[in-house]
Amino acid sequence: MTIDDLIEKIKTYNPNVDEAEIRSAYELAKVNHQGQKRNSGEDYIIHPLHVAMILADMNMDSATIIAGLLHDTIEDTSVTYEDIEKKFGKEIAELVDGVTKLKKLNYKSKAEKQAENIRKMVLAMAKDIRVIIVKLADRLHNMRTLEYMTEAKKIEKATETLEIYAPIADRLGMSRVKWELEDLSLRYLDPDEYYKLVDMVNKRRKEREELINSIIDTLKVNLERVGIKCEINGRPKNFYSIYKKMKVKGKVFDEIYDLSAVRILTNDI
C-alpha cells in the first residue's frame, strides 16, 4: 500500500480532497518514524498508512485521516502537539493528542466491572468522537497483524480488544469493525475452536448465501406489495457470535440454525 493508494481511495468519496495536505502529513510521519520497525520487520510507517486507509474505507473526513497518519507521532517521535498545530491546525492537533491520551489508560484488570469502567472512561475522555474512531482503526490494524507478537501479548491484546474495543465499536454503531475485532480476538483466544468454526462455516457458505438471497427476494416482493420502500441487506453472522451462542446454549455447530441475519431499513412503516 502507498500514499497514492490512500489518496485514490479518498477521492472516491471526496474528489476535492486537499491532496497536498494528506501527502504532507504522510511525509511528516514517514520522516519522524524513520528507523522504527514493526514486529513484522516492516518500516513503521506501514502502520499509520494502514490506519489511514481503514479510516478512508469508512469515508472519514480529511482531518480524521490526517490524525490517523500522525496518531503515533506525539508518543513515539520528537513531534510535539505544537508542531502539529502549527502545520495542520488545532483541530488535527487535538485529535492526535486525544488518541495519545487514550493509550495511557491502564487495561490490566480483566474483571467485567472494570472493563465496563474502562469503556466508559474511553468514551468520556474523547471530546471528539473521531478520536475513538481513530483509536478503533489503530486497534483493528494491530489485531490484523497480531501474529508477530509473543503468545502472551497475543492473549493480552485479544482479551483487551474483546472486552474493551469491540463493545465500544458496537456502541458507536460500527458493526463491521465490531465483528472483525471479535473474530480476530477469537482467533487468538481459542484458535482450535476458531479454525474448526471457520472450516464448518465455509462448507455451508453457498447454502447460507442462497438462503439470504431467497429471504431478501421474498421480503422485497411482499414489502413492495404493501407500498413500503426500503433497503434490505443480508449477511452471514460473524464467527464470534456463532461461537458465543454455542458456548452459552451448550450446542454444537449443527444445532445452530440462525447463521445469517437480514437488516431492513425504511423511513417509516
Active site residues: 75-76
Among residues 182, 170, 169, 98, the alpha carbon closest in space to that of 136 is found at 169
DSSP string, 73-134: HHHHSS--HHHHHHHH-HHHHHHHHHHHHHTTS------HHHHHHHHHHHHHH-SSHHHHHH
Report the length, in residues, of the chain: 269
Contact 79, 32 (CB under 8 A): yes
DSSP letters, 221-251, are HHHHHTT--EEEEEEEPPHHHHHHHHHHHT-
Q: Are 134 and 51 in contact (CB under 8 A)?
A: yes
The phi and psi torsions of 268 (rounded to 5 degrees) equal -160, 170
